[in-house]
Amino acid sequence: GEEKAGGLITSEPLEDNLFIGCEDGGNVGPYRTPFNFEGVIDEVRLYFGPVGPGEVAEHFRDPRRVELERAELVLRFSFDDGKATDLSKHGNHGTVEWAKAVKGRVGLAMSFKVTPFERRGTAVALDGRDPHTGRVVKTIFVPCLISPKHHFRCYRSKATERFILLPKRGVEFLDLENGLHMRHDWLRGACSYGVMPANGLLYIPPHQCFCYPGVKLAGFLALSHKATEEGALRLSLLERGPAYGRVEREEASFEDWPMYRHDPERSGRSPSKVPSSLSRLWETRLGGELTPPVEACGRVYIARADAHTVYCLSARSGKVLWEYTAGGRVDSPPTFYRGLLLFGSADGWVYCLRARDGKLVWRFRGAPAERRVVAFGEVESAWPIHGSVLPLGGVVYFAAGRSTFLDGGIFLYGLDPWSGRVLYRRRVEGPWPDVLREEGRPFDMEGGKADILVTDRERRHLYMSQLAFDLKLRPVEAPRITPLGARKMGLHLIATGGFLQRVWWDRTYWMYARRWPGYYFAYNSPKAGQILVFDEKATYCLKVFTDRPKGGLSPFYRPGRGCLLIADSNDNEPYLEPRAVGWEKGPGYSRREPPLWEVKIPLRAKAMVLAGDRLFLCGPPDEVPPSDPLLHIEERDGALLWVVSAKDGRKLAEYRLDTVPVFDGMIAAGGRLYISTRDGRVICLGRA
């Protein structure tokens, strides 16, 4: 028969295998997975070229006819041998699963008649027995409780009086009383031990799993049932300060660095030309855990996270001009905007100060309720806000919360920076699966977790992990283009472990690309590494995990063998070879084009800046002294500062520092470098 397609499934070429009769949960179009055909398929033929309806009818009348005049036969399965043997000249043999051979019109055919959970093993069935007789007195059956593929986790199930906690992908709750079953693929226990239900809480220890990047939570967590009722989630709150309506506008200059990583695209690039010949101009010790700095209008702004304090320093002398203490941690630098200084805090509020003297203009509670939790040894909101907010088009954007699956979700706002008035808001929660009908996916899922917001090169969309929004905070579809979770997006900076992940890990990375990368490695990819910067034409990245021995599950870092500093054209997009598309822990992304240049450097750069035509890299040496092999791994002997030509990777200068920068803690402004260090100092370098 004939049926007209409802539309194009995707404009992207599918980087995947061809499935006939069913698909493996890797759908890329707007249909619900799983999709499976029920019936009999006698023969499959694919042609390259035009095939008219008359030819189709003639072939149906005479199945022995194969060739066509204007189309080439590229694939043919007759199934007569009970297998998917390609009888064309191309030899693209397949495999037959979830079907059985039956008598067909000509020879054998394949019969498909299976339900999705039978086909994929997603169902859970449990018999409850009388302990005295062994007789089955209750049966619980949940068709789609566990997500398909992969093995059960390498830790045991746990149980409470009401629930059995299964360890397939994360934690699956099998409710023995009320039928409120649920899977939580966004959680993961540690190998061998798993999770622990106790004290009315579920304890989740740290893990080393890369599944569900952009959604799965990390760290040591204690989770409870829903602690805040829906009725307690109230509208936001605005408080005016003494400087409200009393701000003289100041414009950041061309050479300033007014926000996290310089601009809304988070490029890490400044047009300011910093000389290769550098001297230490001043140093200020603030102590504690410092964020990267920002600079505008002759002032340097920086936060000390553990003291909940934002400092303003003189860019000329380093003298502290003022300080302001918020109600919680400020985990990333504040943002300068036309005479205002804006930042979020872990207390769930966004603060707006007058930039020249630190007086409060307004503060806005983005958290939907005043509920506190313990985090990092301190008390903070259940909906913390990252310090670095995003100004774009006269609106300041931020997100309050941790995960779309916790505490009612993540609350996004767009405020007027002068008044604090709400212009746009969006709540993103779940989505919670229907475990009676909806299968999960093995390595990626819907949902997201909070991160510093970033925009794309066209400044049309906002991105937070794998989620995309327009400038009115309306969700923007990011269509899945591979079975392991790559999603089509605008060209923007991505951090698969989050921008504030300070400890490098072999399976997470930064990437500048037109896609959310999904569940793939990137050690061979262009425009990807542990840290990177970019301009209009090229991306410069540092790769640390560059070696993957045969049979290794992850790429390795081998101390003392150097790191790769690579420049790529921005048009050189990451590429998945056909064999890599559905291969978990496979080769991952590779490159179609060679790099612009590539050099190996004996430096683990923790901070990197592009200033004019020079790259500045700062971090511990990649050396292994025989007398103290962990000296530089533990960052106990200072750092190197390299100046490198952005044109060809040639080293122009090298300096020794007695301290190590915080991650991503170097900026370039007004012809100078400003570095925040792990021992609580701010250092200014420039021409003497």
Q: Where are the domains of the chain?
A: 39-113, 120-232
**E strand or H helix that includes residue 124:** strand 124-129
Q: Residue ranges of the chain with pLDDT lower than 70?
A: 1-19, 21-37, 97-98, 113-121, 227-235
Count of C-beta atoms within a 10 Å radius of residue 243: 18
Residue 512 DSSP one-character state: E
pLDDT for the residue numbered 286: 98
Phi, psi of 120 (to 5 degrees): -115, 0
Determine the Cα–Cα distance for residues 208 and 31; give it in Å rounded to an integer: 33
Residue 54 DSSP one-character state: H
pLDDT for the residue numbered 631: 95
pTM (2 decimals)? 0.85
Determine the Cα–Cα distance for residues 221 and 675; give it in Å rounded to an integer: 33
Each residue of 292-321: b (16+ CB within 10 Å) or e? bbbbbbebbbbbbbbbbbbbbbebeebeeb
Determine the Cα–Cα distance for residues 675 and 684; give it in Å rounded to an integer: 7
Determine the Cα–Cα distance for residues 385 and 165; give it in Å rounded to an integer: 32
Determine the Cα–Cα distance for residues 650 and 599; give it in Å rounded to an integer: 8
Determine the Cα–Cα distance for residues 349 and 363; give it in Å rounded to an integer: 7
pLDDT for the residue numbered 551: 78
Alpha helices in 643-688 (DSSP H): none
SS3 content of the chain, % helix, strand, coil (to 5): 5, 40, 60
Determine the Cα–Cα distance for residues 373 and 383; give it in Å rounded to an integer: 9
Residue 320 DSSP one-character state: E
Residues 6+ away with beta carbon under 8 Å from 290: 302, 303, 304, 305, 662, 665, 676, 677, 680, 681, 682
* Residues 41 and 110: beta-carbon distance below 8 Å: yes
Determine the Cα–Cα distance for residues 458 and 680; give it in Å rounded to an integer: 37
pLDDT for the residue numbered 409: 95
Phi, psi of 358 (to 5 degrees): 80, 15
* Residues 227 and 303: beta-carbon distance below 8 Å: no
pLDDT for the residue numbered 301: 98
Predicted confidence (pLDDT) per residue in 558-594, tens digit? 999 999 999 999 999 999 998 899 888 899 999 999 9
pLDDT for the residue numbered 97: 67
* Residues 280 and 309: beta-carbon distance below 8 Å: no
Determine the Cα–Cα distance for residues 206 and 221; give it in Å rounded to an integer: 8
How far from 231 is each of 227, 365, 368, 370, 408, CA to CA, in Å? Answer: 12, 17, 10, 13, 11
SS3 291: coil
Determine the Cα–Cα distance for residues 685 and 611; give it in Å rounded to an integer: 13
The candidate with the shortest Cα–Cα distance to 569, out of 611, 518, 531, 513, is 513
SS3 251: coil
Each residue of 502-516: b (16+ CB within 10 Å) or e? eebebbbbbbbbebb
SS3 385: strand
* Residues 642 and 601: beta-carbon distance below 8 Å: yes
Count of C-beta atoms within a 10 Å radius of residue 333: 29
Torsion of CA 670, 672, 677, 681, to 10 degrees: -80
pLDDT for the residue numbered 134: 92
The candidate with the shortest Cα–Cα distance to 565, out of 522, 615, 639, is 615
pLDDT for the residue numbered 110: 84
Determine the Cα–Cα distance for residues 284 and 316; give it in Å rounded to an integer: 12
pLDDT for the residue numbered 112: 74
Determine the Cα–Cα distance for residues 366 and 414; give it in Å rounded to an integer: 10
pLDDT for the residue numbered 113: 65
Phi, psi of 517 (to 5 degrees): -75, -20
In the sheet with 39-41, reading across from the earlier edge strand, the strands are 39-41, 108-112, 100-103
Determine the Cα–Cα distance for residues 360 and 323; give it in Å rounded to an integer: 11
Quick one: CA dihedral 183, 189, 194, 196, positive or negative? negative
